[in-house]
Structure 1
Amino acid sequence: MNSIPLYPDSCSLSMQLRPVLHDRLRLLPEGISEFTFANLYLFREKHQYTLSRLVNGQLIILGNDNGADFFMLPFGLPDQKTLSQLLKEHSSMKCVSEPQASQLEAMGFTTTEDRDNFDYLYSRQELAELKGRKFHKKRNLIKAFINNNEYLAQPLLDEHIADALQILEQWHNENIERGDKDYNAAREALEQSWDLQLCGGIYFVDGQPAAYSLGEELANRTSFVIHFEKAVGGFKGLYQFINQTFAAILPSFYMTINREQDLGDPGLRQAKHSYKPIGYVKKYRARL
């Protein structure tokens, strides 16, 4: 901890900081998808994340989105004076949890829902079983995929990383016109999956690599977050198939699956709602 500079100085997010952050983040009860070491590390360049510590010892994550400086306090709030100073020096406090939002409002700060960044929460059991009329279309797509293809599912171990990278490259080429949102992070996640302790599954169709899922546990081992899910085109029902089968193999102590945010994309929002979320991990922004 003493190697982390005192605010306003900060240090880059490196793999050497994983022992300091990983377990503490994993035990946070709210289950905010940004607050895992892997997520912070993989998106460190996109959000210009750095790490600092306040005088009281609390860790603070600093960042910048499109020229706007922000900060995040996953491990609790400092005193009102310190918060006021931080909010004067940054455009906002990001990834504010629901309990933190209540505390901040009581202190006189303004908080607003950051709807585009709400994480979608699903019942693991519901996604694994897809029972009832509300999942009728999903079951039909999965049935069509199973009936029309030879497939094989395997744990995403080291021997399959090259295959997963092949899937990612093909997915990237097929979707390049839609913009590169997470390609670099997805690639690094595969290349460093062992060091980051990410786990997932890979799917072969007709003997060729076709899809993979990759994620980790959070919310004190009650939830599993899917950070990356990629599939090649041309196989109707493939995404629905991997969604169900991966949920089915997750241990039962994961009560929920967190499928992260929609970022305000209308198509993505519709797709996430089609799986009938049981709730959201709400996030707020705080300002003076």
Structure 2
Amino acid sequence: MEQWRVEPMLDFRRIEMSDFPALRKMYEKYGNWSCDCTICGTYMWRDYLDIRISLEEEKLIVYQQLDGKHLFYIPLMEDRIAGIREIVAYMKEQGEECYFYPVANEELSLFEEAGYRIETERDEGWNDYVYDITALANMKGKKYHNHKNHINKFNALYENVELLDIRDVEPAEYLQFLDDYVKSEHKKATIAKEENVKAKEVLSDLEAYGVVGYVLKVDGKIVGLEVGEILGDYYYSHIEKADKTYNGVYSKLVQLVSQDLQEKVKYMNREEDLNEPGLRRSKRGYKPIGYIEKNQVKILD
């Protein structure tokens, strides 16, 4: 992917692990609660999307490259309108069109306030799915009928089931589980391959990423893995893998993880479905309470 740099107004560079504390602070303070505005959401995809940052005290500007466009996050700073104007001026100096993504619905008014005319694009596949964590922990009512059936089957078929904190499990165990999962899935899409590579990267350095994680075992064997991060009232599910030969394993994993998290957060963000039919059915089946709708914004004038 072609490397791109703009100067002298803003200075962009690759993300380093040493940036994590500052990024986490800025995402919690100014982020739009989308999965993009998380440590893993940024760092896991830094190569695939050629993500770069400009980081100063109380000011973070992020861009990613996709489909030949440079897409800027809404500036993470107190005066976001000033930040938008700085980016637009910066792109004009480069002779480039100016795009912003991901822009939440409530952030669209910032462009009008900044004095710009815009064109927006929204794709349903970009939406983040948001769930009530207590609802997932309990799965009560008719709307969860299918998942309750899956969980009941799991409970009837398997004994000696335990959900463990990932830090209480030997890394070699869950890294081997991930390798076995990747081999069993046979996914050839570039984005799927990149996700698997970066998932292993995260699992190899849990402390640096500041993630929480769980391992589901049956008779001492790993059958499920869940890793994510907490920002504010949200838990972001970044890595979720399970052995589908175990009947109902995904429903059981989601319920047990949610039960452990319900005293820590209010919501679970299970990220996008990217218009994949199977993912869409799965994510809708857990009955989201809402979506974070993300827009791509083009500055017209």
Which amino acid is 2:249 matched to? L
Q: 2:148 corresponds to which residue?
A: 139
Which whole-Å deviations, capped at 9, do the CAs of 1:118-156 have from their partners, x for residues lacking one?
A: 110001111000000111111111111111113221111
Give, in angstroms, the shift of residue 280 of structure 1: 0.6
Q: 1:59 corresponds to which residue?
A: 60
* Counterpart contact for 1:174–1:233, Cα < 8 Å: no
Is 1:203 aligned with 2:216? yes
Give, in angstroms, the shift of residue 229 of structure 1: 0.4
Unaligned runs of 5+ residues in structure 2 are: 1-6
Is 1:192 aligned with 2:196? no
Q: 2:4 corresponds to which residue?
A: none
Give, in angstroms, the shift of residue 206 of structure 1: 2.7
Residues 189/80 of structure 1: CA separation in 2 closer, same or farther (3 Å cut): closer
Q: 2:89 aligns with which of 85, 88, 92?
A: 85
**TM-score, normalised on structure 2?**
0.85
Between the aligned residues of both structures, percent identity stands at 26
How do 1:119-268 and structure 2 match up within 5 A?
119-150=128-159, 151-157=161-167, 159-179=169-189, 181=192, 182-218=195-231, 221-268=232-279
Q: 1:96 aligns with which of 92, 103, 107?
A: 103
Moved over 4 A (4+): 5-8
CA distance in 1: counterparts of 2:50 and 2:31, whole angstroms: 25
Q: 1:46 corresponds to which residue?
A: 48
CA distance in 2: counterparts of 1:227 and 1:283, whole angstroms: 18
CA distance in 1: counterparts of 2:133 and 2:34, whole angstroms: 17
Which amino acid is 2:157 matched to? N
Q: 1:17 corresponds to which residue?
A: 19
* Counterpart contact for 1:10–1:51, Cα < 8 Å: yes
Give, in angstroms, the shift of residue 215 of structure 1: 0.7
Residues 242/6 of structure 1: CA separation in 2 closer, same or farther (3 Å cut): farther
Unaligned runs of 5+ residues in structure 1 are: none
Q: 2:281 aligns with which of 262, 265, 270?
A: 270
Residues 79/249 of structure 1: CA separation in 2 closer, same or farther (3 Å cut): closer
Name whichever of 107-116 and 43-52 sits farther off: 107-116
CA distance in 1: counterparts of 2:292 and 2:67, whole angstroms: 24
Residues 43/7 of structure 1: CA separation in 2 closer, same or farther (3 Å cut): farther
2:186 aligned counterpart, secondary structure: helix
CA distance in 2: counterparts of 1:31 and 1:230, whole angstroms: 23
Aligned CA-pair RMSD? 2.3
Which amino acid is 2:39 matched to? F
**TM-score, normalised on structure 1?**
0.89
1:27 aligned counterpart, secondary structure: helix
CA distance in 2: counterparts of 1:80 and 1:41, whole angstroms: 23
CA distance in 2: counterparts of 1:6 and 1:280, whole angstroms: 38
CA distance in 1: counterparts of 2:264 and 2:221, whole angstroms: 32
Give, in angstroms, the shift of residue 22 of structure 1: 1.5
1:103 aligned counterpart, secondary structure: helix
